Amino acid sequence: MKQHFRRLRSSAFARFALSYVLILTIVLACMFAYIFFYVEREVKENTLNSHVNRLSRIAYQHEDYLTTILNSAVQMGLSPDIQPFEFDQSPQKAYELLQQMAPYAVTNSFCDQMFLCFAGEDHLYSPSSSLPLEMFLNLVRYEHVSPEELQAMIRAPGAMTLLPAQRVESTLIDGNATDMVTILAPLGASAASSKGTMIFMLSEHVYRTMFADAIEDINNTYIIHNGKVLISSTDLDVPQDVILSNLSAGSDFHSDAITWNGEKWYLLNLPSSTWDLNYVTLLRASAITQSTRRSMVSATLLVAGLGVVGLLVALLLARRNARPIREIASMLPCKEGVMDEFSSIQTGIRELSARNTDLITRLERSLPMQRHDFVVQFMKGRYQAREDVVAAAAALGMSIDRPYYAIILHGMQTQGDNQPFDLRKPPFDGIPGTAAFGVELMAIKAHLYLVFSDTREAIVRLAEVIHQQSTERYGHAVVALSDVQTDFADAPSAYLEAATAFDNRFVMDDSQLLSYASISTSIEDILPQARRLTDAIDQALSLRDHARLSGRIDDLLNFLRHTNMSAFAFRLIYNDAIDKLLRRHAVTYASGQGGMAYYDIFTLSSCQSIDDLDQLLRRLCASIIDAPVADATSLVAEETPSVISQVADYMRVHFADPELSISAIAEAFEMPTARLSLAFKDEMHMSPLEYLTLLRVERSKELLAATEMSIKEIAAEVGYYDASSFIRRFKQMTGATPLQYRRSKEESNDAHADS
Amino acid sequence: MKKIVSLLLALMMLLGGVAVAEEKVQLTALQWALDNQSATDFNEMWYFQQIEEKTGVDVEFRMIGDDVWSTQLNLMFSTPKEMEDLIIRGSVDVEEYGVTQGLLLPLDEYLTEEIMPNYVSRLPLNNAGDSIPASDGKSYYIGYLIAQNVNHNSTWYINPELLQQVGKEVPTTIEEYTDVLRAFKDAGVKYPYSSSNSDYGAEHLWAQFASFGVPLQMYTFATIGEDGKVVFVGDLPGFRACCEWLHTLYTEGLMDKECLTQDSNVWANKVNAGEVGSFNYLRLINTALANPDTIQHFESMLPPASEYGVAVPQIMEIPEQGAYLTSTNNDPVASLKWIDAQLDTEMMMTASNGKLGEQMIVNDAGKYEVISVPENNGLYSFVPVAMGQFFAPGEYYTEVYQMAPHRVERYEDSQAYAAANVLEKISYEYLTKLSKMDNESSIEVANIKTELEKFIKESVIEFVKNGVTDESWNEFSETAKGIGSEKYVKLYQEAYDAYLAK
């Protein structure tokens, strides 16, 4: 039980519930305090204000009646149709007078009776009848006014006279006896006109209606005129003297607290100077106290009600808020003995945090591999959109969202640790606005750096720094740089550019940065000079001048060393040079087969650098210049163009066979490889290999344009074992990658279709 | 075997009979209600439960107050398919909805001894049924009539003690009457004759014109001569003579000078004060003349006769409209039987006066007599009173009902006036209630009447005050014509002729 209570106390629900109930208690306590301190005053003010408003309304209505009465008396007195006459002499006028009075009876419909009496006349007139004054005085009996007094007032009304409410008995009045307020007004503008008197009798019912909204037993309402009560309500049995003696003078509204019969009362007095009237309410003070108590009880009940509702809401909210916490706690690993949800969450989060740290460590360890994968995927153009690339890189802690990027290939060294440079460390980190990532490419024995930068210059600068560091560290460096790209979709092209530049390390001066941009892809600019230099060697051979020959060879090699050219261009040039020398001096070494060995395809293909060419060329020239003079005409036998034509046909048929090679063709046509190459080049003006490449590229162009086959499928279709070789060859021949070519053809087709 | 079959048949008939007895006729009714009784619900009323038990007819009432009666009636007639079966009390334009639109059912073929024995037996009495047929000769409603066997409103009264005091007999001629009034004046009577100016009041000064053969009243200023000709009252020869006689009374102080301007209240106070010697009024037993010490000294007399004859305006006891059957009525026979059950004497008296033995008894004379009246219209909680069916011509009513003293007084006076042949020969109500005009003529007659009324009032006052000269009389006659008295008479003549033609 104790344990259960402790568990409940430490639960999230209990904590929430306790908090909410505490807030609720504070709010309700404030409300109750406000009610306690302010309600009494508010209730009293409101009660008094409501009575003042009621008095104002009664005053307005009553004085509106008085004004109507006075106006009627004035208008009738001023009317030319209502003139004094003697009834006995002019009964016709009496008849007409009744007609004239009828509209005024409508205006004064709140009056029970309305009479007119001309000065000195013995008759009264109402809107429906005439009657003798004497009869009126005999029939209409006032409780406090004698017939003589009434007659005197009728005869000489003076100003407006208000007779306080009193019982009037008469068979002329409906019901025979009722309380009436009587108002006598001079007929005409003033009493001085002496035209006559108007008598208006208002039943107490008119006033009862005015006072109808009074609350019984709480107040009495009085209308006081000239120190006398004109009329009052009778809900409270309070002598009128009490009111009159306590009524203070003044022209503005005021309220006085008085004590009568041992009880406290409020006397509210609204004076009206127009008619010398006071509108008074006598209000029992206990009524206000009772109202206050009622309001307090109501307010307390309201607060209690709110408390109950608030408590329910608090418990519901606590339950609602505690539930997810309980669920979270149940999901987290929890140590035994931890009693409440918050502690469980705390322990669980710590546990998760420790596990997370371990995971992060492991993740970081595998980061180079993932980055390697990312770089490879990037280079292969596997990402659909730039956002995908950026997101994938960000997941590996790589910030690559920069406008420029390029690929740098850095040749591995044969000694040392051979790890890629860590470009986040000095001196590489001194180049602002760059982010670079290095991976190993074992296939080409190079390190690849993927560099992203805010400026083009920073990329070139970083490549130069790598070159410099490699040279300083290993004494030699091969660093190739692709063109600076902007579109991430061009990443495969960038790699090819870098690879092309890297391949040129054999034919270019690799003491400098190998930039794809600096490679001249056109041999047209190089070949004429190379041929002139070859002709100079030829001349030296013809002269059998060793020194001259060595000088000319040096000239050719220096030229090639200092010329930026692709490997393809290099091969064309050295094939061309050797072909020319062999042809010119075939007679020279016709007696022996040694010279032809230099033109074996494997010998030639092993010539990959200028140094290789240097050795090959010097050996060939030495063999020529040292050989005895012979008939060289047999060197070029009777291979007819028809045979070469057959070879070309054979190649056009079999170019898609990946096993097709120059040696295989030579074997098929039972010709030496070198003779086939020379005869083919002589007739076709290109080597068989170039022709074969040309056939494959042309066919691949058709497939790229006309089909949706993948690059890999097309490469296999035209005779390449792997796609990368095909792509490289294609770019060398056309200056564009197969993908770029396909896109350009599609755009061209779309343009045609649109036009 | 035959016995068994007979028993079975008898049992089936018995069961069938029980079933028929339990099957009630269901009807609906649009029920007119007094303004102050519109909350009364007849659907739960004790009286109609009794009628339902007697007739097997269950009527569902829709109570309609008088203030909205016309509106609701028009709405009902605007959708004939949804009309109630019955219309009870309330006024309906029979000519429009019965004769013209055919939305009311003609009842003549159902008015038989078998279906409506009570109603049919009373129709001939006092010619009570004469006014019911519409212009097409068909009867579209069941009449409602509480007759009192009275034939006039204004009776002459005189103080016999004063007569005795001045040594006079009850006057029979206008000259004798004048002498009596002079004698009263000489004897110190303050007002030898007094009247009021209250319109339509029986005490009005105009009642005196009857002594000069002029049946002057406020309802119409036309009268029907014995030859069937309608005449403007101002054209009757006695009109000028009466004005001259009244002038004589005025100038000699024989009449209350306030006759022309005082209302009935002031007049009544004078009578109650014992200051009046002679007057005209409805009856002596009433609330206005509240001083029994004074009233018991008066007695009625015949109107004094002049050379122009005597013509007291005669009133007729004409049935009002009691019930109608709509043209879509589901069961006219059951409907009329249900109405006639209410006209059974005991049920009719109960409907009007309350339960027998509680509010009403049958007295020693075998007549129904009211013994108590519940306060605050308490009767309406269980009987329909004035909103139910009642058809009692005078001849029948006086036989079965013990009339109250004030009604007996009027009845006896009426008997005396009829016997003395002082009544107008053909009642003016033939013009106001029986002769029908089209709408346009009705409006024109009403407009002329308004002008004539004002003119006659002012002229009579003028003649009384200043007397009548040939010039003033000619002016009176010409002005009356100018107002349209001839057109007025013509329109009434046409309507009356049409009535007679029916």
Residue A637 binned pLDDT confidence (cut-offs 50, 70, 90): very low
Q: Which residues of A touch B272 (CB under 8 A)?
A: 171
- Say which range, A83-97, A599-613, A720-734, B433-447, has the weakest mean pLDDT: A599-613
A638 pLDDT tier (thresholds 50, 70, 90)? very low
Go through A161-193 and write b for each residue having 16 or more CB atoms within 10 A of its CB, e for each that does not.
Answer: bbbbbeebebbbbeeeebbbbbbbbbbbeebee
HSE (side-chain half, CA atoms, 13 Å) at A22? 6
Residue B383 above 60 pLDDT? yes
CA of B260 vs chain A CAs: smallest distance (Å): 7
Query: What's the count of helices (H) and strands (E) in chain B, helices before strands?
Result: 18, 14
Reply yes or no: is the peptide bond before residue A427 cis, omega within 30 of 0.
yes
- Residues A128-132: what's their mean pLDDT? 91
Give Cβ neighbours of residue B457 (< 8 Å, ≥ 6 apart): none
For residue A92, list chain B residues with Cβ-Cβ distance below 8 A.
Answer: 260, 461-462, 465
What is the per-residue pLDDT across A184-212, written as a single tens digit (0 to 9) for each? 999 987 767 678 999 999 998 899 888 88
CA distance B232 to B227: 14
Check: CB of residue B317 under 8 Å from CB of residue B150: yes
For residue B290, the chain A residue with the least C-alpha distance is A171
Tell me which residue in A88, A95, A171 faces B260 most closely, judged by beta carbons. A95
Asked whether residue A587 carries a pLDDT value surpassing 50, the answer given is: no
Cα separation of B332 and B322, whole Å? 15
Distance from CA of B278 to the nearest CA of A (A): 19
- Paired strand residues for A439: A448
User: For position A668, what pLDDT does the model report?
Assistant: 82
Read off the pLDDT of residues A24-77 as tens digits, 9 standing for 90 and up: 999 988 888 887 778 778 888 888 888 889 999 999 999 999 999 999 999 998
The pLDDT tens digits for B47-106 are 999 999 999 999 999 999 998 999 999 999 999 999 999 999 999 988 889 988 999 999
Q: How far apart are CA B51 and CA B57, in angstroms?
A: 8
Contact A506, A610 (CB under 8 A): yes
The arithmetic mean of pLDDT across residues A146-170, rounded, is 88
Smallest CA-to-CA distance from A171 within B295, B267, B298 is with: B267
Query: Measured between alpha carbons, how far is B154 from B315 in angstroms, rounded to an integer?
Result: 10
Residues A116, A99: Cα–Cα separation, whole Å: 13
- The angle, 0 to 180 degrees and rounded to 10, between the axes of the packed helices A641-654 and A688-706 is 40
Q: Rounded distance, CA A379 to CA A382, Å?
A: 8
CA atoms within 13 A on the CB side of A191: 11
d(CA A503, CA A362) in angstroms, rounded, equals: 38
Distance from CA of B187 to the nearest CA of A (A): 21
Q: B465 in contact with A at a CB cutoff of 8 Å?
A: yes
What separation in angstroms does the CA of A645 have from each of A16, A156, A682?
97, 159, 12
What is the full DSSP assignment across A597-666?
Answer: GGG-HHHHHT--SHHHHHHHHHHHHHHHHHSPP---GGGS----HHHHHHHHHHHHHHTT-TT--HHHHH
Which residue in B261, B458, B465 is closest to A130 by CB distance? B261
DSSP state of B222: E
Share of chain A above pLDDT 90, in %: 15
CB-nearest to B262 from A129, A139, A171 is: A129
d(CA A667, CA B71): 126
pLDDT at A642: 63
Question: Which among B128, B121, B124 is positioned nearest to B146, based on CA atoms?
Answer: B128
Do the bridges between strand B391-392 and strand A254-260 make them parallel or antiparallel, or are there none, so unpaired? unpaired
- pLDDT of A406 > 70? The answer is yes
Tell me the pLDDT band of B18, cut-offs 50, 70 and 90: very low
In which band, very low, low, confident or very high, does the pLDDT at B159 lie, cut at 50, 70 and 90?
very high
pLDDT digits (tens, 9 = 90+) for B425-454: 999 999 998 888 888 898 999 999 999 999
Concatenating the DSSP letter of every residue in B344-372 gives SHHHHHHHHH--BTTTEEE-TTS-EEE--
Helix (H, G, I), strand (E, B) or coil at A455: coil
Digit-coded pLDDT (tens) for B267-326: 999 999 899 999 999 999 887 887 777 788 899 999 999 999 999 999 998 899 999 999
Least confident of A573-577, B90-94, B189-193: A573-577
- Token digits for A575? 């094939």
Helices B237-251 and B439-466 pack at an angle, to 10 degrees, of 40
Q: Which of A414, A370, A410, A366 is nearest to A393 (CA)?
A: A370
B67 DSSP assignment: G
Residues of A in contact with B197 (CB under 8 A): 95, 129
Which of A170, A180, A115 is closest to A139 using CA atoms?
A170
Q: Phi and psi (nearest 5°) for A295?
A: -65, -40
Residue B270: list chain A partners with CB under 8 A. Answer: 135
Between β-strands B276-281 and B191-193, what pairing exists: parallel, antiparallel or unpaired? parallel
For B263, which of A92, A95, A128 is closest by C-beta distance?
A128
Question: DSSP string covering A21-90, please?
Answer: HHHHHHHHHHHHHHHHHHHHHHHHHHHHHHHHHHHHHHHHHHHHHHHHHHHHHHHHHH-TT-----TTT-
pLDDT value of residue A216: 59
Instruction: Tell me whether B70 touches chain A (CB under 8 Å).
Output: no
Cβ-defined contact of B260 to A128 (cutoff 8 Å): no
| Confidence band of B208 (pLDDT split at 50, 70, 90) | very high
Nearest by Cα to A161 from A183, A139, A193 = A183
B234, B238, B241, B245 alpha-carbon torsion, rounded to 10°? -100
The confidence band for A592, taking pLDDT boundaries of 50, 70 and 90, is: very low
State which amino acid sits at residue A618.
Answer: R
Q: Is B458 on the interface with A (CB under 8 A)?
A: yes
Show the tokens assigned to A504.
């040129």
Q: How many Å apart are CA A376 and CA A442, to the nearest integer?
A: 13
| Residues pairing with A198 in the sheet | A116, A185
**Sheet of A277-284, strands arranged across:** A228-232, A219-225, A277-284, A263-272, A254-260
Q: Does the beta-carbon distance from B257 to A95 stay under 8 Å?
A: no
Q: Which pLDDT value is given to residue A67?
A: 93
Residue B465 backbone dihedrals phi, psi, to 5 degrees: -75, -45
The rounded mean pLDDT for chain A is 81
Backbone angles phi, psi at A90, to 5 degrees: -140, 70
**B49 touches B281 (CB < 8 A):** no
- Is A330's pLDDT higher than 90? no
Strand partners, B362: B368
Q: Does B266 touch chain A (CB under 8 A)?
A: yes
Q: Is residue B22 pLDDT above 70, yes or no?
A: no
Query: For residue B476, which phi and psi values (nearest 5 degrees)?
Result: -60, -45
With beta carbons under 8 A apart, name residues in chain A contacting B191. none
Segment A106-133 shows an average pLDDT of 91
- State the distance between the two ends of chain A, measured CA to CA, in whole angstroms: 90
